Chains A and B, each alone.
Chain A
Amino acid sequence: MAVPSRVLRSEWTKIRSVRSTVWTLGVAALVTIALGALISALVRHDFTRLSPHDKQVFDPTFVSFAGTGLGQLAMIVFGVLVVSGEYATGMIRTSLAAVPRRGVLFTAKLTVAALLALAVGMLTSFAAFATGQTLLGQYRAALGDPGVLRAVLGGGLYMTLITVFSMAVAVMLRSPLLSLGVLMPFFFLISNILANVEVTRKFGAYLPDQAGQHIMRVVPDGDGAPYGPWGGFGIMCLWVAAALMTGYVLLKRRDA
């Protein structure tokens, strides 16, 4: 039986020794912070022209996270490449020969990648908040305001869960192209459409990203979601747990 601490070390070596790790995580942080900053600057400029309703639900914290929707795509690429990089190259057979306990190998791989995503996600979230609030000027929120710290920490957690979800899907599908082909359009377009079109809105609110994003809000957006910030986050956790379990069952049964 493999020794878990050794496998964790080994997975850390794997993740830090490929270039895709640096550029996917780098792009995720950069896009999230930069786009959040841009939107924050625009909102400050146009604040007086906002409708009364928009002013009422104005959430300076959430505005600074406006880059998350795009930045998360790079986190998805990171998660998919960590897992399917092994399958696409055939490295998986070498890895499983070294660590034949599949559960141990994948738990270690997902743990290392999730911790790295958490670190990058938290840094990104705090940086996006700080940059965004500076640019919002007089409309800014402070970290000490009620609910703000929770929302900023939530931004980091959201990024982490999106990464773990992507890794679980990549375990199921194995192919990087197939995994990205499913995840990217879903999180970039389909989920947003389902959550905003009248007929599917009720169902769309329970999709992993739509529900999870509520943790980054301080002011409810008034769309009448039947759960609070932590409720939404819980729904996202359930999605991730379900994806992980499906992936694990397939992993155990399949030939490598």
Chain B
Amino acid sequence: MIEIEGLTKAYGDTLAVDGLSFTVRPGVVTGFLGPNGAGKSTTMRMVLGLDHPTSGRVRIGGQPYERLTDPLRHVGALLDAKAVHGGRSAFHHLLCLAQSNGVADSRVHEVLDLVGLGSVARKRSKGFSLGMSQRLGIAAAMLGDPSILMFDEPVNGLDPEGIHWIRNLMRDLAGQGRTVFVSSHLMSEMALTADHLVVIGQGRLLADTSMPDFITEHSRSYVRLRSPEQQRLRDVLAAGGFTAVPGSDGSVEVDGGDPVRLGQLMADHRLVLHELSRQQASLEEAFMRLTAGSVEYHAHPAGADEPAPAAVWGADWRSGKES
């Protein structure tokens, strides 16, 4: 269990982390979500005692990190896959970490095999691809068989196979009753792995909720209809008591509409439909709405007078469900 209380980190006048309080519980994957620059990495560094908080505190199972005897046996962390001396072999990198925490040397080979780096154990990590470095970082995190695992953007730069592997690993670890705390700036990624969500923006807590609650609370479901007879479609919907809003390329959207009733209504009026589909606004969209006010770096579309942050940020995922 990681307990964060009133955690604040100031760099000069800028507050990177601003009064954060939340608890990361065992047995579930807790997603730590926020746009770039929201303070996720800073928070994680403070959990490990690498950065000193300006105020507030972090407790690992009730203790500050610096007080833990053999911290690697309590907390395994992957903050930066490239935070490795490139001139050292994967084996020696893990060996020196194991020795510092009284972990048996044999465990080094176990974790190397676990992450699939057994064959390159004696190779210097300088030549590793990002995916291999990421695996080495995970091997280091697993070394002490810790009950708490923390990963900062673990899927960044990985190929689909690697991403799949990390997702399953995190689920397995949580399934074993461990505390798994993983950061990401992609809602879509969290939707696939996290059971619980902590969302921050500009260092402040925006949401601390279970994934199902977040979905019900923040995602909008609607039915999309498309017909060659646009005007009649709108009239029929209005007559039927539905509020229709225009969707993209000539479609019509009915918020919270029931597709069965809508289909019946259209059949009763013998209206030709080209589309009748239930849609769920993506979680990405919900996340963007939530953090819209706190995104630090906006892209400004050329020619737009008033850039609307929520719409601009990640416009690619605007419609439809997860693919």
Point out residues on A near B: beta carbons under 8 Å.
1-3, 6-7, 9-11, 13-14, 17-20, 85-86, 89-101, 253, 255-256
Contacts and interface: CB of A to CB of B under 8 A. Distances in A.
Contacts of A17: 88-89, 92, 95-96
Contacts of B191: none
Contacts of A253: 52
A6 B86 CA distance: 23
A2 B88 contact: no
A17 B87 CA distance: 8
B49 interface: yes
Nearest to A92: B83
A93 B85 contact: no
A18 B85 contact: yes
B95 A98 contact: no
Contact of B71 (A18, A93, A97): A97
Contacts of B86: 89
B68 A100 contact: yes
B95 A13 contact: yes
Contacts of A90: 80, 82-84
Interface of B: 45, 48-52, 65-72, 75, 77, 79-80, 82-89, 92, 95-97, 99-102, 140
B83 A93 contact: yes
A92 B79 CA distance: 12
A84 to B, nearest CB: 11
A18 B102 CA distance: 22
Contacts of A3: 69-70, 102
A98 B71 contact: yes
B100 A2 contact: yes
Given A13-B92, A86-B85, A255-B51, A93 B101 contact: no
B96 A13 contact: yes
Given A13-B92, A13-B96, A256-B51, A100 B66 contact: yes
B99 A20 contact: no
B85 A89 contact: yes
A1 B69 contact: yes
Given A90-B82, A91-B85, A93-B80, 6 more contacts: A10-B96, A85-B85, A89-B84, A90-B80, A253-B52, A255-B52
A14 B88 contact: yes
Contact of A97 (B72, B84, B99): B72
A20 B87 contact: yes
Given A91-B83, A255-B51, A255-B52, A99 B100 contact: yes
13 contacts: A13-B96, A17-B89, A18-B88, A90-B82, A90-B84, A91-B83, A91-B84, A94-B97, A97-B72, A98-B100, A99-B71, A99-B100, A256-B45
Contacts of B89: 17
Contacts of B71: 97-100
Nearest to B97: A98
Nearest to A11: B96
Nearest to A85: B85
Nearest to B71: A100
Given A97-B72, A100-B65, A10 B84 contact: no
Interface centre among B70, B88, B99 (most CB of A within 10 A): B99
Contact of B100 (A7, A93, A255): A7
Nearest to B64: A100
A60 B86 CA distance: 45
A255 B53 CA distance: 9
Contacts of A91: 83-85
B169 to A, nearest CB: 19
Contact of A255 (B50, B72, B99): B50
Contact of B79 (A10, A20, A93, A98): A93
A19 B48 CA distance: 30
Nearest to A254: B52
A9 B50 contact: no
Interface centre among B67, B70, B96 (most CB of A within 10 A): B96
Contacts of A89: 82-86
A70 to B, nearest CB: 25
A100 B79 CA distance: 15
Given A10-B100, A101-B66, A255 B45 contact: yes
Nearest to A90: B83
B48 A96 contact: yes
B69 A10 contact: no
A16 B95 CA distance: 12
Contacts of B82: 89-90
Given A17-B96, A86-B85, A90-B83, A6 B101 contact: yes
Contacts of B97: 10, 94, 98
A10 B98 CA distance: 8
Contacts of A93: 45, 48, 50, 79-80, 83
A17 B95 CA distance: 10
A17 B65 CA distance: 28
Contacts of B75: 97
B50 A97 contact: yes
Contacts of B68: 100
B154 to A, nearest CB: 15
Contacts of A19: 87
